[in-house]
Amino acid sequence: MLIDIIAGARPNFIKIAPVIEAIVAKKKEGVAIDYRLVHTGQHYDKKMSHDFFEQLGIPEPDHNLEAGSGTQAEQTARIMTGYEKLLMSQPCDLCIVVGDVTSTMACAITAKKLGNIKVAHVEGGIRSGDWTMPEEINRIVTDSISDYFFTTSATANDNLRKAGVTTDRIFFVGNTMIDTLLKQLPFFTPPTIWNTLSLTAGGYIITTLHRPANVDDASGLEKLLSEIIKASNGLPIIFPVHPRTAKMLEKTGIKADNLHMTEPMSYLEFNYMVKNAKVVVTDSGGITEETTVMRVPCMTLRENTERPETCTVGTNELLGTNPDAIAPAFKMLFSGNWKKGAIPEMWDGKTAPRIIEHIIHIFGIV
């Protein structure tokens, strides 16, 4: 059986690494299972792509569709055209897509439309309810055509059932992002800035911002950053800047003695910084899962989340996008009363082997 593994953007790379590892382990045991890694090329910078492959030990992609940047439609179209060409000359039996990025949706549609390829969605069923996010549309479209769903939470299972998915196609397996986190934890390494600024555990803030709602308007971005700076009590704010945000930051010219902007960090360096941070202030979804497992306080600058368990079980608080919410949250943090959190069910580092066991069973592979 040949499985295509699709990866396009930074968070995908973290999610596919353990899935590939689990397939390779089964192949070594003599199970008739193999994979082909398809990189769509949505993220192409060394720091957004190559460094992740290297650090996470992901093999070289078998195919790179080189889709590159563009509008949502341009990117989707290039990924679909490239993947369709590949599937028409060399089909697979199952296409595994992960997460909610444009590559996820584009490849799911392409595989499904060819008629005889099954589609499995790892991280299926999560919903923010916010239709202005491209990721929410990607989730809904992908889930509406997938055959099998490997889910991270009971809420995701409920969402799928409400959408009419039969229970026999939903597999609650946990979180592959956490498989990677727990495996790599002993190898986290401090980035250069750790020494340059003589940082100490619990003595700084990490910020990441890349959602269009927060960064595509220069004055809004400036207001958010100013509030973080004001609320920070002078602690160093380390801000690894996503390329999308970098373009807008140039227009703001914002500066502060304790604001340190850096290039995007590698996986091992970034998570070293998260693990030791006083707090993480972010608009990412994936990072809120990592802070939950590492029990680091997290403030999310979004109105909603598709990962509610990071708030109900974990250390995450949704502050919304109004900058006025930042100061009270920091007050709570500095008073020492931030919630300690717990680890969500099945986020135990063994999700990918569970996924592959289910696939072996579903397809009757021997």
CA distance 137 to 332: 35
Which parts of 104-133 interact with ligand UD1 (CB under 6 A)?
A: none
- Between vectors from CA 192 to CA 189 and to CA 197, what angle results, nearest 5°? 115
Counting residues that bind ligand UD1 (by CB under 6 A) gives 19
Position 69 contacts ligand UD1 (CB under 6 A): yes
Q: Within 10 A of 315 (CB to CB), how many other CB atoms are there?
A: 23
Which parts of 196-215 interact with ligand UD1 (CB under 6 A)?
A: 210
Interface segment toward ligand UD1; rule CB under 6 A; list 36-44, 325-333, 340-348, 353-361: 36-44
Residue at 235: amino acid letter:
L
Query: Which of 63, 169, 244, 358 touches ligand UD1 (CB under 6 A)?
Result: 244
Residue at 283: amino acid letter:
D
Question: Of 39, 43, 121, 210, which one is the catalytic site residue?
Answer: 210
Contact present, 272 and 203 (Cβ < 8 Å):
no
| Residue span 160-199 as binding mask against ligand UD1, x where in contact by CB under 6 A, dash where not | ----------------------------------------
Locate 353 and state its tokens.
């082997």
Task: Reduce the DSSP state of residue 142 to 3 states and report it.
Answer: helix
Position 19 contacts ligand UD1 (CB under 6 A): no
DSSP 46: I
Smallest gap, in angstroms, from Cβ of residue 209 to ligand UD1? Answer: 11
**Cα–Cα distances in angstroms (integers) from residue 191 to residues 161, 198, 257, 312, in the given order:** 44, 11, 20, 32
CA distance 51 to 55: 6
Q: At which residue do the structure tokens 């979004």 appear?
A: 302
How buried is 187 (Cβ within 10 angstroms: 0-12 exposed, 13-18 middle, 19+ buried)? exposed
How buried is 270 (Cβ within 10 angstroms: 0-12 exposed, 13-18 middle, 19+ buried)? buried
Smallest gap, in angstroms, from Cβ of residue 243 to ligand UD1? Answer: 3
Position 81 contacts ligand UD1 (CB under 6 A): no
**63 among known catalytic residues:** no
Interface segment toward ligand UD1; rule CB under 6 A; list 15-23, 96-104, 217-225, 325-333: 96-104
Residue closer to ligand UD1 by CB (options 118, 210) is: 210
Contact present, 333 and 279 (Cβ < 8 Å):
yes
Position 45 contacts ligand UD1 (CB under 6 A): yes
Interface segment toward ligand UD1; rule CB under 6 A; list 20-28, 37-45, 53-61, 144-152: 37-45
Smallest gap, in angstroms, from Cβ of residue 164 to ligand UD1? Answer: 25
Residue closer to ligand UD1 by CB (options 49, 207) is: 49
Interface segment toward ligand UD1; rule CB under 6 A; list 124-132, 239-247, 303-311, 314-322: 239-247
Give me the residues that bind ligand UD1 (CB under 6 A), please: 9-11, 42-45, 48-49, 69, 100-102, 134-135, 210, 242-244
Catalytic amino acids? 210
